[in-house]
Structure 1
Amino acid sequence: MDKSPSDTLRLEFKEDVALTEMMRLRVSSLQKSGQKRQDGERLLLPYEAVYRLDFPTQELGFSRWHFSLSGRGRVTVTGICQLWTPDLTHLMTRQLLEPIGTFWRNADDPDELPLKFLEADMQEFGERIAELAKVRKVMYFLLACKDGAEAANLSCSVEFTPGK
């Protein structure tokens, strides 16, 4: 979390390693036992991980996204409306928010070319996050790295203006 001189608050997406591992164990357990997922359950895919944003204050106005990715690939960010409890209830598809955020750089794009994204979706997504921050201290997200993108090569944060 960085406080910039222009009175904005920048919150960094942080991987929740324990929750990601717990969700991977759920997939592994189902595979080993030959069971099927619950109706409507959303299982973690191999290229996905759970990230979180921690809100130090609840009154935030969305300002802008900060996203960097070295190399090529596509990263999608999906918000989760579920507030996880210690028993880590299963993730259900109905708990995934829309729109999702997608950033990408094509294989033939030069490295210095800025990442591409759908501006209207990212604006709406940022505003949804600010709205949920009014009633949350933490929010969870699925980040999926595809088409050559790697989590080690990405940085994602959202900038807010406090008191909105």
Structure 2
Amino acid sequence: MYIVFYFFVFSLSQVPGSSSPRPYTSPWALRLAQRETGNSPSFPQEQDQTHKGGQGMAEDMELELEFTEDLQLTDVMRHRAQSLQQKGQKRQDGERLLLPYEAVYRLDFNEQELSFSHWNVSIKGPGRLSVTGISQLWTPDLTNLMTRQLLEPSGQFWRSAGDPEDAPIKCLEADIQEFGERIADLAKVRKVMYFLLAFKDGAEKDSIKCSLVFKKDVEA
């Protein structure tokens, strides 16, 4: 016994100008057909998500690294200066001793293909921040720091007494641009880089924040 079922689905509305009902087409089938023919309709929600995703990708292309104090290396440097003073000895010819208002800081590069973008520095109240880079791989527990290992130019940032709180930090723009570019170049061959940060003219560590913003290099 053969049982044949015929299913016909008709729309409730009629095609204008015709007395015959038009076949019903599901939205899913219509969308599939449009995509196959390349005539996909616009979907505002999907466009919105794509736009937001693009913004996220742009943010992912930047990397901000904050200078952090290396307490152990700072202590080693301080001990070296104090030891020479207590023993009445002279420093090694060309040696750079840590000054009382200085500390050793570091940048750790978890990514190395970088291009310099800009500095982010904030100083509360009057004071001056000096950032000096160390050009070679160095730690004071292995070798003494020598003046020839210091990068030039250094980064100089300051806020004068009487400057409004919302006033931009003063700096030597050409120097900090060149300095930032040199740091980005050195980052390509290093995982870590050390710096001497000097807090002068009333500046204190707790009132200063300093970081570098890089752009991530994308291979073509």
Q: 5 Å matches for 1:103-118?
A: 103-118=157-172
Structure 1 spans left out of the alignment, 5+ residues: none
Partner of 1:140: 194
Higher relative contact order (CA 8 A, sep 6+): 1
Output the CA distance in 2 between the equivalents of 1:6 and 1:69: 27
- Cα distance change, pair 44–86 in 1 and its aligned pair in 2 (3 A): closer
SS at match of 1:27: helix
SS at match of 1:160: strand
Partner of 1:10: 64
Structure 2 spans left out of the alignment, 5+ residues: 1-56
Match of 2:109 among 34, 55, 76: 55
Output the CA distance in 1 between the equivalents of 2:142 and 2:79: 12
The yes-or-no answer on 1:156 pairing with 2:180 is no
Output the CA distance in 1 between the equivalents of 2:139 and 2:129: 27
SS at match of 2:75: helix
Query: Larger % of helix: which?
Result: 2
TM-score scaled by length of structure 1:
0.94
Query: Larger % of strand: which?
Result: 1
Q: How far did residue 84 of structure 1 move?
A: 2.2
Partner of 1:41: 95
SS at match of 1:5: helix
Contact map agreement 2:127 2:160 (CA 8 A) in 1: yes
How many residues align? The count is: 162
Q: CA RMSD in A?
A: 1.6
Partner of 2:47: none
TM-score scaled by length of structure 2:
0.71
Q: Which amino acid aligns with 1:112?
A: D
Q: How far did residue 82 of structure 1 move?
A: 2.5
* Identical amino acids, percent of aligned pairs: 67
Partner of 1:25: 79
Q: Which amino acid aligns with 1:58?
A: Q
The yes-or-no answer on 1:125 pairing with 2:186 is no
- Cα distance change, pair 86–34 in 1 and its aligned pair in 2 (3 A): closer
Runs of 4+ off more than 3 Å: none
Output the CA distance in 2 between the equivalents of 1:42 and 1:82: 14
Q: Deviations over 1:26-78 (max 9, x none)?
A: 00000011000000000000000000000011111000000011111000000
